Amino acid sequence: MAFTSYLMIHCRKATELGERRELEPLTFVEQAGLWFHTRMCKYCKAYLAQSEVIDEHLQERLGPPVDTEALEARILSGIER
């Protein structure tokens, strides 16, 4: 079997590797497979770009400001008891 066949991965695999590389290093073959795949597949290229934007938003998200006066009182009375 040709070496290049190791590098041929499908979209399901490519998108999974895109997720995994965030948390642990991929093997050389996996990296190369992902690299080749995203050069050939416009959908996965778009997916990975969108995925990156989602990750940034997930990392930074903060809810809207809320009035916490009642909660602050509850916290303090719980502690001082």
Partner 1 sequence: MNGVGTPDLDDLGRQQLMARWVKSHTGDLVRYARSRVKDPDTADDLVQLTFVSAWQGMEKFARESSPRTWLFSILKHKLADHYRKAYSEGQHLSGIEIADDDPTITFAPNGRWTSTSRPTVTDHAFDQDEKERLDRALVHCLEHLPDNLRAAVEMKYLLEKDGKEIQRTLGISATNYWQQLHRAKLKLRKCIEDRLDHNN
Q: Nearer to partner 1 by C-beta: 35 or 52?
A: 52
Task: Give DSSP secondary structure letters for 32-63.
Answer: HHHHHHHHH-HHHHHHHHHHHHHHHHHHH--P
Q: Nearer to partner 1 by C-beta: 39 or 74?
A: 74
Least distance between partner 1 and beta carbon 37 (Å) = 10
CA 61-25-17 angle, to 5 degrees, is 70
Q: Nearer to partner 1 by C-beta: 29 or 71?
A: 71
CA 57-46-6 angle, to 5 degrees, is 115
Interface ranges with partner 1 (CB under 8 A): 9-13, 15-16, 19-20, 22-24, 42-47, 49-54, 57-59, 61-66, 68, 71-72, 74-76, 78-80
